[in-house]
Every structure is written in C-alpha cells, then in structure tokens.
Amino acid sequence: MTAYSELYAHFGRVAALANAVGILQWDNDTMMPRGAAVTRTESMALLHVLRHGMMTDPRIGDWLEAAAADTGLGAWEKANLREIRRVWTVETAVPPDLVEASSKAISACEMTWRQARADSDFKALLPTLTEVLNLQRAIGEAKGAKLGLSAYDALLNDYEPGGHSTAIDALFDDLADFLPGLTAEVLEVQARRPADPPLAGPFPVAAQRALGMQMMEVLGYDFERGRLDVSTHPFCGGADNDVRITTRYDEDDFTSALMGVIHETGHALYEQGRPQAELGQPVSVARGMSIHESQSLLMEMQACRSREFLRFAAPVMRKAMGGSGPAWEADALWRRYTHVERGFIRVDADEITYPAHVILRYRLEKALVADAMPLAELPLAWNAGMRDLLGVTPPNDRLGCLQDVHWPSGGWGYFPTYTLGAMTAAQLFDAACKANPDVLPAIGRGDFAPLVNWLRSNIHIYGSFYETNDLLTHATGRPLDASVFKAHLRRRYIEEV
C-alpha cells in the first residue's frame, strides 16, 4: 500500500467510529431511557478515547511525510492530505493531561452554570469558569504554538478553519457601526404599522409535526437518509447518510417549531449533499461552522422568511393548523416572521438584532482569552456592551452574561461563526438568485429545486475541497463582504415593507 492509501484506510476507520458516536449521541439527546445514562457515558468516553488514539497514531506523521512526496496524487487527494494534516496537527498539539483536566473542569462548570443561571449569580460561577478559561487559554496556546496562531485564533480554528480575528474585527466593526442606526430606523417603520391579530391556538403537536415534515419534503430533505425527532434543543446530527434532525414544540406557537425545522433542514441538506465519492475522509466533511451555519440560515432567513415563500406557505399553514382570518394571510405572517425587537436573549433575537449579540460575545471572549480583561468584570462589561450595541441593559446576570452555555462548556471561539454564517448566507443567496433568476419565483411556487441544485453544485459537493475563503469566492466571485448582508437587511426591513 502507498502512504496515501494507508492514510485513506486509517481515516475511513476514524470516520466509522465517529458515525457510531454520532448515532449514540443522537439517541442520548432524544429517546435514551434515563436509566441508561451511566452506561452510555462510559461507552461514549471509551469511544472518544479510541478515536483520540487513532487520530494521534504516530504512524500518521510518517505517512504524511511519505504521501507529500507522491507526485501521482490528484486534486481531491491533495486536498484530503491537507485536511488530514490539519486535523492531525490540532489533535496532537495538546498534551493528554491538559485534555483530561479541561474535560473535568468543563463537566464541573456546566453543572455549576445550571444553578448559577437559575439563581442569577455570576459570582457562584466565577471559580469554575475561571478554571475553564485558564485551561482553554492553555489549550489555545498549545495549538497556537503548532499552528503559528494566537491563542484565540487557535481556538477559533477548531470551528472556523483558517479564520483570523483580524478579518473578523474588520467585518464586525463595520456591522457594529451600522446596526444601531438600522435598528432604530426599523423600529420606527414598525411603529407605524397597525397591529396584527394573534394566531389563536392551541396547535396540536401531531399537526405541527406533519406540517414540519411536509416543509422538509418541500425543501428537498431525503427521508430515506434521515428522520425528524424531538429534543430539548433542536439540532442536526447522526452519521454519514443518516442525517437526523430534531425540533421542539409549543402548542401555543407553531411558528417557532416550524422555523426550527427549516433551520435544521438547511444543515441536513448540506450533510446529505456532501461528496459521496470521498465520504468518510476529512476532505468530505462540511467546511467549518460559518459555512454550515450559512446553509441553515439561508433556508430559514433568506428563503423562508421571504414574501415569496410565505405566499406559498400561508395556505399550507392555514390548512395544517385549521386557521382562518386576517392573522393567517401571507402579509401578516411575513410581518410576524420579520418582527424586530430589542431584547436581552440571543436565541430569541430577530435577524436585525442578533448580530449585535454575537459581536458582544466575540469581543468579550477575545479579550478574556488574551487576558486583557479580568473575568470578574464580565457582568459589567457585558451590560455596557448591551447598552452600546442594543440600547438595553440586562436587569440581572441570568438575562445577561449567564444565558449561554458555550463558555462553561468550553466553546471559546465558537460565537463569531453565527454571524459569519448569516453574512455568508446572504452572499450565497444573492449569488444563487443572480445565477438563476427563477430561484425566488420558484420558492413562491413551493419549488426549492433551483436553489438546492445551485447549493449542491457550488457548496455541498465540495465538502472541504476548498478552504473557506476559496469556497466562497468560487461560489460568489468574492470573499465575504459585509455590504451584501447590510443591503439584504435594509431591503427587507426598510425598502420592501
């Protein structure tokens, strides 16, 4: 066997193990009986240890060196070799004792966070969160030493390969200057509208599930390679060619669950469209979280909050929910789905105010990882940032700096990918509509094939063949450009009202 074929076979086995972990994790989050928790934890821990051992196998370095000298490799094989080297470098950068210490600190911090959040008591979280931060900083420094990056950029690289905070700073500073004025302008426009009547429930879960599955089919989801279930927090998971999504239902409000299904379907379409010929290899996986998030937000925000989609969907929703009256008209539903409001909670935020929540978290976590701000000052800095970016001040820590689990769970460097994904979604949708002027009219007919076909041929089939900036440039003709996102927001919320 050649060195490359050894690598190919080895990482195929790594992927098979990851697929098993994915299904076990999905089961854990959806339907596993409580009594199985201890056994499942032990099984998952062992599988993670086995995977880490395979990812740090000392033979990988020798195979990589030999394969790099192979002049017979094709473009996809060279890209796979690049991705194998990237993931191997990251996996081997951190000493096992640091990984273990971080895992234990995160477990303790997550448990403390649940109670601290309920009690709105940041001081109670401070000791365990300090330990998590110190260990994440050490992990970032260890990875950064191998990758030639700052500690923060090394942590960011786990979620956004090749991403750099200098580029994000420029994009986010531009948005931060733009958003407060736009928010005020949109709120003035909204204030002049007559109030719409409420959608009267209850909306039975069975009817909501049927509607969600109908819309999944409209978007192009393949039920032969996935399923829809219920979980506390909606997610997309599973395994290669077994892409499962979840949602949660509220019998008083079907609109939230439906958009949750559409959001996760966007993720799933990406996973179902990955390159089959290279499935199981690092080159086949989705290209980072900003691209992944762009696929869900493209469906949820760009396509399915458009007037065209809601003209198609309004009668479908009315029939499914047994609704009638003005509240069920397409224009009323559009106003409902594009309502803007300043608020404290990120996950409840609308398309206009959401980026401000992310920019705040990004700026704070970058300062904390760089040790440029004491962690004890986080509540004050958070509230000041909320006041500057959103014009509101949280009355307590539960509605402020304790609302997200990302930092207690070790997710430092993840937050910016949410807004990078929203910006990418706008740029991709704009490019798709320009490449095929029938994309929006077809959505108005309930036909997503033109859009999905464009995404398949420009994003999905490439997996990680291209690096992120190259992939976006290949698809849209330019790197990420904040002006496209800004123009989308102004058009939807000011010009087309």
What is the rounded average pLDDT of the residues 390-407? 95
Q: Check whether 96 has a pLDDT greater than 90.
A: no
For residue range 405-437, what is the model confidence (pLDDT) as tens digits? Answer: 899 999 999 999 999 999 999 999 999 999 999
What's the start-to-end Cα distance of the chain, in Å?
63
pTM: 0.94
pLDDT given for residue 179 in this prediction: 94
pLDDT given for residue 193 in this prediction: 87
pLDDT given for residue 496 in this prediction: 80
pLDDT given for residue 42 in this prediction: 86
CA dihedral (176, 343, 165, 289) positive or negative: negative
Which residues are catalytic, by number? 264
317/306 Cα distance (integer angstroms): 15
276/463 Cα distance (integer angstroms): 10
What is the rounded average pLDDT of the residues 225-249? 93
Structure tokens at 220: 């192009």
For residue range 344-378, what is the model confidence (pLDDT) as tens digits? Answer: 999 889 999 999 999 999 999 999 999 999 999 99
What is the rounded average pLDDT of the residues 130-142? 97
Of 240, 328, 236, 219, which is closest to residue 285 (Cα–Cα)? 240
pLDDT > 90: percent of the chain: 88
Q: Across the chain, what does the average pLDDT equal?
A: 95
